[in-house]
Structure 1
Amino acid sequence: MARYAKEHKQVTRQRIIEQAGHRFKQDGIDGSGISTLMSDAGLTNGAFYAHFASKDDLVANVVADQLRTQVAMYDTLRPGRLGLEDLIREYLSPGHRDQPGTGCPSAALLDEIGRCEGATKQAYTEGATAILDEIAARLAPDDPQSARGKAIGLFAMMVGTLQLSRALSDQRSADEVLERGIENALTFMR
């Protein structure tokens, strides 16, 4: 029987992580079984344990990957505060709100991450710290540490605003939450 190259295993593992990230953000961690996750990746259940020790192991890897991807996206923004303003407007947009499966893992999964095992919380802590560092560096490029508190407040405001908007059944109210969230975030960052 022919064996796959090591690169094939890495590509397959990454496909599982990416598909699971989308599914977790769409249906929740607890709402996503291994069978569904593997089907999304085009694989059988039996292949799961060749890549991950447990679902908790997969969740930790997904959280780390999702946040690394989010941090890497900051490099595509305009420099400084202009890029941060662009980020705020995109983050608090109806498109982001209405597409949780392709959006921010914090807004989609924060409540579940809080109930996860240590490896997932550690992955989230490292990723969130990198996001906060990016925001602080945009707020105060010469002294990012001086803007750390403001970065925490701004990120928390953005995540909470998006979560609240997603939870409302009235479209007009949900849109208003986003509009006011943008106004408040832009005022807060000044």
Structure 2
Amino acid sequence: MSMVGNPVQVGRRPLDVDLIDRARAGDDHAFASLLGPIVASGYRLAGAMLHDRYAAEDVVQEASLKAWRSLRQLRAGAEMRPWFLGIVANECRSVRRTRWWSVLKFPDVESPAMPPDDPHTTFAELRRGIRRLRHRRRLMLVLHWYLDLPMAEIAVITRSSEDAVKSEVSRAMRQLRGLIGVEDA
């Protein structure tokens, strides 16, 4: 594949600008080539934010449709992954804001008592703690620790500076430690 004009990035891979142009012109195969390598990250983000597999699938489907419709907003030289994950994050926020989501609450199913050093107990506590964080802090932790994205990419996704991202991740970690009863190191 030859490079034409300015490369557009998918994650960290340069893409042929012609592929973007073809997708913008309505070529669904070109769009699938753009979205294919990053859609799994979208599912992981939505799943971690919503804790509901079916809601996550709906969010990624809606985000994919919105990405298709707003492909013209992707700037030349921009990276596809942060742009798409930003759409996914906004969709997660929209879902969590809907009335049915806040009214419909399922109780956490408690597992039988386990020894305190059991990793499953720690995971369950961690998951409950993450659920209690505000959306933005949960998003920062999921992007940084679960998707293992660099601070610079998180800054693009959240439309923040890198310093703001570092600060918010630090605050979120401090709050999470307090929620799960872990003392600061």
Q: TM-score, normalised by structure 2?
A: 0.29
Structure with more contact order per residue of length (Cα contacts < 8 Å, sep ≥ 6)? 1
Q: TM-score, normalised by structure 1?
A: 0.28
